[in-house]
Amino acid sequence: MRVQKVNTIAEYTDPAAPGWGSVEVTEIETIPAPLGLQPTEYIQVSWEERPYGALEQASLRAVHDGTSIAIQMIWEDPQPSTGAGEGFPDGAAIAFPVHGEPELMQMGSPEAPMQFVQWQASKKQARSVLAKGIGSTLPGAAVGETATGSWSGGRWTVVFTRSLAGEGESANLVPGSNTQIGIAVWNGSNEERAGIKAVSADWTALALDR
Amino acid sequence: MTDKRQVAMVIDLNKCIGCQTCTIACKTQWTNREGMEGMWWNTVSTSPGEGTPKGWEKMGGGFRKGKAQPGKLPKQGEFGTAWNFNVEEALFQGDKHDTLGPIGGDPNWGTNWDEDIGGGEYPNSFQFYIPRICNHCTKPACMEACPRGAIFKREEDGIVVINEDHCRGFRFCQEACPYKEIYYNTVTGTSQKCIMCAPRLEEGVPTACSRQCPGRVRFLGFLDDEDGPIHKLVYKYKVAMALHPEYETEPNVFYIPPLAPPSFDEEGNPIDEDRIPMDYLDSLFGPAVGPAIDLLKAEKAKKKAGGESDLMDTLIARNWLDLFGPFTTNPKDVAKTLEERVQNRQG
Amino acid sequence: MSKGVSRRNFLKAGALAAASLAMPNFLARSGVSLTALAAETPPDFNSSLDVYRKHWTWDKTVRGTHMINCWYQAHCAFDVYVKDGIVFREEQAAEYKQLRPELPDMNPRGCQKGCSFSHRMYETNRIKHPMRRAGGRGSGKWEQVSWDDALNDIADKFIDTIIKEGTDRVIWDLGPDINIGAANAAQARLAQLTHSICLDSNSSNGDGHRGAFETFGNVYMERSLEDYFYSDVIIIWGANPIFTSIPNAHFFTEARYNGTDIVCISPDYSASATKADLWVPVKPGTDAALALAICWQIIDGGHVNESFVSEQSDLPILIRADTGKFLTGKDLDGGLDSTFYTAGSDGKLREVDRKSLELEGYKADLEASLTVKLADGKEVPVRTVYTLLKERLSVYTPEAVSEMCGTAPKLIRRLAKMVINAKALSNVSGSSMNKYFHGNLTERAMILIWVLLGQMGRPGSGYSAFGFLANDGWEDYVSGLRIKDRITFGTEIGLDLMWDWMKGETSESFFKKLSTSQFTDPGGNLPIWTSSALFWHVHGGVSELAEQADKWVPDLKKPVKEALHESLEKKWLPLQPPMGKHPRILFHYCSNPLRSVRGSQKLTEVLWPKLSLSVAIDFRMSSTAKQADYVLPAAAWYEVTDHKWVTPLVPYNHVTNKAVEPLGESKPDFWIFTMLAKHIEERAKSRGLDVVESHMGKEIRLANLYQDMTMDGRFGEDDLDSAAGAILEQSSNLSHVSWEEQKETGFVRYNSLGLSPLSIGNAGDLKNDEPFIPLTHHIDGKQPYPTQTRRIQFYLDHPLYLDHDEHLPRFKAPPSIGGDYPLIMTGGHTRWSVHSVWRDNALMQRLNRGQPYIVMGQEDAGTRSIADGDWVRCFNDVGEFIVRAKVITGAQPGQTIMYHSWENYQFAGSGDARSVSPSPINPVELAGDHAHLKIGMLEGQPGCFDRDTRIEIEKLSAEDSARLRQG
């Protein structure tokens, strides 16, 4: 997946920004996060008979301006859930390896962590999250992360942004070089949360234009 | 090195009068903060009845033959909504026909909606009160279920605590807890539950629900304290037992099962049949309940005949502080600020 | 320990979890939490629990209590926790000492209501400013006014009324929550200085214990809680202590474990019945029949304690067969009509000793039957009370009684056997029986059980009626710290009392006389009281509701209203102001009559239009405050320093300390009354008024009112604390501990009953190290009772009693009050409120149903197609109200229960629970021209009855529900 260089990503932060029309689309396929990898027996047992992660793919576009990256993600969701009150919110995340070769399905490991930016329909602000294995997520280093979502016509369009640079335990994205991206989508109306989600089966290569 | 210990509670259903002082004590102690209005970490329900949350015994969770069981996520409406009332309109602005009532219309369920409804048919009606808190289980289903490891069981006292800094509000714990003792705070987005008054126990003060109970219903102490009443009641006399042991979480709250006056035959004459059907008690407390009831009756008869009974004397607990094992400090004597308390520990 | 360390631990937990997917997590984690760290410095003060630890911190605590009359369950010492100037919590002090090792201690006294007063005091319904009505009465339109404006206007109307129409047109409507402390002393002092009228609300509350009064000449008899532990049978009868005596209940449940049998007699399988060893269901209002069946089993089985009844009761006293009256000295030789006779087995008459119960070996013949020659030469047969009683009781066989009360004969026999075999028999007193029309008969029948068996005055043994224990310095304060001088130096009442003493009267009778005098002519400096039941019936128009009473009550000799007027005209009972003189100003203090008075719908219709001013003094908006002209904001109980009366159940004076400043502009009651005196004085002076004459001819020193009120400035409006202390310093039974120490400890054990007319009837020795047992002064000390015969008296030869065939205990079926309807609307105090003080509290309601409901059984609901939660209409000939139904398994078919104290404004539509309860006066209770059936403080007044109310209930359709709920 290519990340085109643009003058400024400010023109792309709106999910419906016209600029996105001219950006190349990459379809990323998703599968239900494997039940066997769910971190607790309870979750495995309670979702054994229950479908989740039904989403099959999401459409991604990405641009950067040398400082920050904006990624637009679009997926089908006929029944949006904002997570008001007791409901579970729809959500999505984009993940990058921090260092080493983290297993996406395993949410990384202490040796090979990963970082992701998460959007939830219930919250205005995006979250940066660091993961070193399933069930281990902690607040990640601040990377100027934002996420804006909008639902219409049976689908969500969310734009994530973050700075390219990342220090310490955060993914550092460098123009002109390659990294990887993974995604996850939670369908709130199906009570999807935590590891109950649709995920990209593996990393997708991400090439940032110089 | 601290030994692994377990704080436990024995609740005597023969002394419980359903007054809900424990419920209120807990409310004014912990759950009077934002987002916690509808939370009752301590409840008292009339049994038989739907309980709190409504129909919790049919919601699943816990373990069967060691395997986690799916559970239903309890909803706020099932716990009971914290109604607000139209006080301004009805009392300070209204005319005489304005009725004070819950905003949002007629309620049809509440935390204690089933109070004193009971079971059976008059005159063989039956009922008793069951107070419930988090059971601080030896095998906490909530802790097992949490994908974030945000629930831990303290080594020094076995209290099961949700680390609210780490909790993300996924609520698998709510589903997995077969007792449905965990609430969700929609303001903080985290799950919250009874903390066994850990801050009080740390200062040697009994839990609010125990100390404030005017019925003197609750014994508190360490399960392994062989001289304490809890050990006696649970292990020696076997008159205290867990609620729904078949959930396999090994609760550390135990109950003395309820006695009741004799029931009546069709002419209204008292007969020896138990007013509370034994199969109903079995369904709550398992097969140990029958022998426990028999022993309670036999020991009372002994007392009535002028004999001695260590079991009855233990349950009477003439000296109130005997209920609380090592936790006998009066809360007013505790250091007022956290800083002082930390200092006291270090000094 | 740093935050980072703790976080690493959680990381470790997470990692382990991921690595061990197949393992149940508790195995993987139980060793992981904070083990090592906890061992070093337990507990971990940086964990997520810190939020909770911080939540439980405070600036200060003070001892407090609640100035409310929860009666049997009242009196609980609390610690009040204050943070940032706010009371954020309270918790029981729980420092009562164990009296003896074999007895449970009293800790921790308190209930869910007391434990959440901090919530109640800050609720939206708290009144924060003086308010004046800005629209019609009850319009809900208010304007905020200054204290000055409010008090000036009230003072002006006060002066207008007393100079134009008389001081008795100003009424202090005092509810049950008066404290016999400084707040209430200020009110009473203002009343006595202005000769305005105080209402004794006990009778209209339905708490009169008329049967005890008729039998003992006294209602005050109650043990201390620990004494129950010495009972081997405790009967819960006419009470539901599991609801209404929450802090006391453990004495019963623990006694049960100790081998005591608990018996509960009630129509419904009540919460108290669930704690019993034997539950005896009885039809509502038929308990007298059951009691008399037990009495007959006692007599028929030869179990009467003859020496006890011969010495203590009137059973051996002779009754004339011709008149049905006691044989008196006047009959025999023109002597005193207060001389009565017994006869020995030799047939010789002997005068009943009025000075002592001691028989000195004399044996009266309990079944004497002889003929005596009267002074006029007439020969009349005489027989003993016992003989007449025995004849009367012979019809109460278990089989016959079963037909009356619905209890199976075998069960009646089993109950009687338990009672007869009891070594120490006690009862748990409540006030339910008083609320039945024939409740006096029931209570007399119940007392008869205890007396026949001689089950009185020993540890664990005795009948409890009405509990009260008060300081005896209060009257001194009210009268200006002068009462003792007054008695000593022989004013009229002092001389009168001295004469009594010379005649051998007991101090009990002595103070009873003082109590009665306060209703007729209290002398110079005590307040004037009047019976609230009479007041609401006559001035409030409630008696108009009972005009059909002869249809409801089968054996009325004349219409209730006629009987009432006869009693008032003949001055059997005093009423102030008298019939025909309209009340003009009502001060509602600790009172909420529009909620509490049965048939209160009449009050706004009949009484309110006569009023020039209605002032509600309260901390919260009550049903009555809503209809007032002024609402004056009173400080709440954690905002004042004062003390309050108790009962012998918990014989400790209880003190509340000011924890925080009064909210908004609210002021302590003491301040309000004192400032009102000041404003009256100022306004009187500005009008050039000095002294006016009261309706009784007393000089009312208007121009010196503030000076007199404050005792020449000694107790000004801000001196509540020292006034409260002064009362205790004047008290013979509480001055042994300094006021400062009492404030510190919050509770102090009384060292004797003292001399208050509200306590002295308990007639026992209150000691530091043993439970209190009432009536031992009579039973052991042989002191005579304050009755006509100076004995426990079952025979009442008053014409009203003879006319109604109630001269001896008997059973009368409960009348159909309200009309011929199939359901009886019983009631009971709720566990959710004390009076209405917590009834609309959000916390309590969230644990209840949020709206009023009527309780009914499954069968009655089923036949009416009513399901739990349905809206229903409850109605009879008098009125109607709508509520939701609560369908339970424990209600007797035919019985409904309308639990106590919903505020009128909680009912949808125009009616409320009082609307169907006309509460006709029972004519025998109008007696007053009698040696002991006369009015006194809290006793000897007609009762109010709602438990016999008959209703029908119908399910409301959705349309009807919507229409009726609009009102």
Q: Does A140 touch chain C (CB under 8 A)?
A: no
User: SS3 string of C12-66?
Assistant: HHHHHHHHCCCCCHHHHHCCCCCHHHHHHCCCCCCCCCHHHHHHCCCCEEEEECC
Chain A residues whose CB is inside 8 A of the C17 CB are: 39-40, 134-135
Q: Does C399 touch chain B (CB under 8 A)?
A: no
- Look at residue C941 in the predicted model and tell me its pLDDT: 95
Phi/psi of residue C442, nearest 5 degrees: -60, -45
Q: pLDDT category, C963, cuts 50, 70, 90? A: confident
What is the DSSP code string of A35-69? GGG-SSHHHHHHHTTS------EEEEEEEE-SSEE
Number of domains in chain C: 4
- Check whether C910 has a pLDDT greater than 90: no
Tell which C residues from 244 to 303 touch B, by Cβ distance under 8 Å. Answer: 246-247, 249-250, 253-254, 256-261, 264, 269, 271, 273-279, 281
- Look at residue C503 in the predicted model and tell me its pLDDT: 66
Chain B residues whose CB is inside 8 A of the C89 CB are: 28-29
Q: Token pair for residue C116?
A: 């959440």
Number of alpha carbons in the 13 Å side-chain half-sphere of residue C761: 27
Q: Which helix (H) or strand (E) holds C202?
A: helix C202-205
Q: pLDDT category, C507, cuts 50, 70, 90? A: confident
User: SS3 string of C137-151?
Assistant: CCCCCEEECCHHHHH
Q: Does A138 touch chain C (CB under 8 A)?
A: yes
Chain C residues whose CB is inside 8 A of the B300 CB are: 256-257, 259
Q: Give the C-alpha separation, C893 to C268, whole Å.
A: 9
> What percent of chain C is modeled with pLDDT above 90?
86
Phi/psi of residue C467, nearest 5 degrees: -95, 130
What sections of B49-148 are H helices per DSSP?
76-79, 87, 141-145
Closest to C614 (Cα-Cα) out of C591, C580, C596, C637: C591
User: Which chains form contacts with chain B, at 3 or more CB pairs under 8 Å?
Assistant: A, C
Q: Choose the closest CB to A135 out of B68, B75, B148.
A: B148
Q: Token pair for residue C218?
A: 């006294």
Contact at CB, B330 and C906, closer than 8 angstroms: no
Closest to C630 (Cα-Cα) out of C189, C159, C124, C151: C151
| C911 lies in the same domain as C792 | no
| C396 lies in the same domain as C487 | no
Closest to C204 (Cα-Cα) out of C530, C667, C468: C530
| C380 lies in the same domain as C243 | yes
Q: Token pair for residue C39?
A: 């061992």
- CATH architecture of the domain A2-208 equals Sandwich (2.60)
Chain C residues whose CB is inside 8 A of the A36 CB are: 21
Per the domain annotation, does C515 fall within a domain?
yes
Strand C853-857 relative to strand C880-888, pairing: parallel
- Check whether C790 has a pLDDT greater than 70: yes
Chain A residues whose CB is inside 8 A of the C25 CB are: 40-41
Q: Token pair for residue B13?
A: 């259903």
Mutate to test the interface with A, among B64, B148, B152, B182 (most CBs of A within 10 A): B148
CATH code of C411's domain: 3.40.228.10
pLDDT one-digit tens code per residue, C915-931: 999 999 999 999 999 99
The domain limits of chain B are 7-83+109-333
Contact at CB, A36 and C24, closer than 8 angstroms: no
Q: Model pTM? A: 0.95
Per the domain annotation, does C817 fall within a domain?
no
Q: How far is B253 from chain A (nearest CA, A)?
A: 23
> What percent of chain C is modeled with pLDDT above 70?
93
Strand B43-47 relative to strand C691-693, pairing: unpaired
Q: Token pair for residue C665?
A: 């502009």
| C446 lies in the same domain as C496 | no
| C382 lies in the same domain as C490 | no
Per the domain annotation, does C252 fall within a domain?
yes
- Look at residue C16 in the predicted model and tell me its pLDDT: 35
Contact at CB, A45 and B68, closer than 8 angstroms: yes
- Look at residue C966 in the predicted model and tell me its pLDDT: 76
Segment C319-339 mean pLDDT: 96
Pick the last residue of a domain from C37, C55, C73.
C55
What is the DSSP code string of C441-472? HHHHHHHHHHHHHT--SBTTBB---B--B--S
Contact at CB, C18 and A110, closer than 8 angstroms: no
- Check whether C956 has a pLDDT greater than 60: yes
Chain A residues whose CB is inside 8 A of the C22 CB are: 41
Q: Give the C-alpha separation, C322 to C267, whole Å.
A: 40
Q: Token pair for residue C454?
A: 């001689």
| C865 lies in the same domain as C788 | no
Q: Give the C-alpha separation, C671 to C720, whole Å.
A: 8
pLDDT one-digit tens code per residue, B309-338: 999 999 999 999 999 999 999 999 999 999
Partner residues linked to C620 by β-bridges: C126
Q: Give the C-alpha separation, C468 to C218, whole Å.
A: 12
| C789 lies in the same domain as C904 | no
pLDDT one-digit tens code per residue, B248-270: 999 999 999 999 999 999 999 99
- Vertex C105, ends C103 and C109: CA angle to 5°? 145
Q: How far is A84 from chain B (nearest CA, A)?
A: 8
Strand C691-693 relative to strand C853-857, pairing: unpaired
Domain that holds residue C231: 223-464+784-803
Closest to B319 (Cα-Cα) out of C442, C108, C557: C108
- Check whether C39 has a pLDDT greater than 60: no
Mutate to test the interface with A, among C3, C10, C25 (most CBs of A within 10 A): C25
- Vertex C148, ends C145 and C152: CA angle to 5°? 105
Contact at CB, B144 and A40, closer than 8 angstroms: yes
| C392 lies in the same domain as C497 | no
Q: Token pair for residue C567?
A: 């009693």
Contact at CB, A42 and B144, closer than 8 angstroms: yes
Contact at CB, C49 and B195, closer than 8 angstroms: yes
| C301 lies in the same domain as C330 | yes
Segment C304-333 mean pLDDT: 98
Chain A residues whose CB is inside 8 A of the C11 CB are: 110, 132, 136, 138
pLDDT one-digit tens code per residue, C721-748: 999 999 999 899 999 999 999 999 999 9
Q: Give the C-alpha separation, C44 to B191, whole Å.
A: 21
Contact at CB, C52 and B108, closer than 8 angstroms: no
Tell which A residues from 87 to 106 touch C, by Cβ distance under 8 Å. Answer: 106
- Check whether C491 has a pLDDT greater than 80: no
Per the domain annotation, does C233 fall within a domain?
yes
Contact C431, C199 (CB under 8 A): no
Q: Choose the closest CB to C17 out of A39, A110, A138.
A: A39
- Look at residue C30 in the predicted model and tell me its pLDDT: 34
| C406 lies in the same domain as C493 | no
Phi/psi of residue C896, nearest 5 degrees: -125, 160
- Look at residue C490 in the predicted model and tell me its pLDDT: 40
Q: Does B298 touch chain C (CB under 8 A)?
A: no
Choices 3.40.50.10860, 3.40.1800.10, 3.30.530.20, 3.30.70.20: CATH for B7-83+109-333? 3.30.70.20
Give the lowest-confidence range in C97-101, C204-208, C485-489, C716-720. C485-489
pLDDT one-digit tens code per residue, C823-852: 999 999 999 999 999 999 999 999 999 999
| C799 lies in the same domain as C837 | no
> What percent of chain B is modeled with pLDDT above 70?
98
User: Which chains form contacts with chain C, at 3 or more CB pairs under 8 Å?
Assistant: A, B
Q: Does B174 touch chain C (CB under 8 A)?
A: no
Mean per-residue pLDDT of chain B = 96
- Vertex B78, ends B73 and B82: CA angle to 5°? 125
Contacts of C936 (CB under 8 A, 6+ apart): C512, C515, C516, C519, C757
Mutate to test the interface with C, among A134, A137, A169 (most CBs of C within 10 A): A134
Contact at CB, B68 and A86, closer than 8 angstroms: no
Closest to B327 (Cα-Cα) out of B113, B170, B159, B150: B159
pLDDT in tens, chain A (210 residues): 999 999 999 999 999 999 999 999 999 999 999 999 999 999 999 999 999 999 999 999 999 999 999 999 999 999 999 998 999 999 999 999 999 899 999 999 999 999 999 999 999 999 999 999 988 888 999 999 999 999 999 999 999 999 999 888 899 999 999 999 999 999 999 999 999 999 998 999 999 999
| C459 lies in the same domain as C488 | no
Q: Give the C-alpha separation, C924 to C927, whole Å.
A: 6
Segment B83-106 mean pLDDT: 87
Reduced to 3 states (helix: H, G, I; strand: E, B; else coil), residue C80 is strand
Q: How far is C118 from chain A (nearest CA, A)?
A: 29
Segment B56-66 mean pLDDT: 98
pLDDT one-digit tens code per residue, C462-481: 999 999 999 999 988 998 86
Chain B residues whose CB is inside 8 A of the A193 CB are: 168, 170-171
Q: Choose the closest CB to C14 out of A38, A41, A136.
A: A136
pLDDT one-digit tens code per residue, C342-360: 999 999 999 999 999 999 9
Model ipTM value: 0.98
Q: Give the C-alpha separation, C457 to C773, whole Å.
A: 6
Q: pLDDT category, C46, cuts 50, 70, 90? A: low
- Look at residue A120 in the predicted model and tell me its pLDDT: 96
- Check whether C27 has a pLDDT greater than 90: no
CA nearest A85 in B: which residue? Answer: B186
Task: Extract the runs of DSSP E, i.e. beta strands, from C689-822.
Answer: 691-693, 699-701, 747-749
Q: Look at C274 and C486; give whichever has higher pLDDT.
A: C274
Closest to C192 (Cα-Cα) out of C166, C165, C167: C167
Mutate to test the interface with A, among B72, B172, B188, B192 (most CBs of A within 10 A): B172
Chain C residues whose CB is inside 8 A of the A38 CB are: 21
- A→B contacts (Cβ < 8 Å), by residue, are 38-46, 48, 85-86, 122, 134-137, 191, 193-195
Q: Looking at this protein, which amino acid is placed at residue C145? A: V
Q: pLDDT category, C45, cuts 50, 70, 90? A: low
Contact at CB, A40 and C25, closer than 8 angstroms: yes
Contact at CB, C17 and A106, closer than 8 angstroms: no
- Look at residue C319 in the predicted model and tell me its pLDDT: 98
- Check whether C176 has a pLDDT greater than 90: no
Phi/psi of residue C391, nearest 5 degrees: -60, -45
Closest to C117 (Cα-Cα) out of C532, C640, C577, C564: C640
Mean per-residue pLDDT of chain C = 92
Q: Give the C-alpha separation, A56 to A30, whole Å.
A: 5
Q: Does B184 touch chain A (CB under 8 A)?
A: yes
User: Which chains form contacts with chain A, at 3 or more CB pairs under 8 Å?
Assistant: B, C
Q: pLDDT category, C756, cuts 50, 70, 90? A: confident
> How many CB atoms are closer than 10 A to CB A49?
7
pLDDT one-digit tens code per residue, C797-817: 999 999 999 999 999 999 999
Contact C89, B29 (CB under 8 A): yes
Contact at CB, B149 and A135, closer than 8 angstroms: yes
Which residue in this structure is represented by tokens 């320990």? Answer: C1
- Look at residue C33 in the predicted model and tell me its pLDDT: 34
CA nearest C29 in A: which residue? Answer: A40
Contact B218, B9 (CB under 8 A): yes
Number of alpha carbons in the 13 Å side-chain half-sphere of residue C811: 27
Q: Does A45 touch chain C (CB under 8 A)?
A: no
Q: Choose the closest CB to C14 out of A36, A41, A133.
A: A133
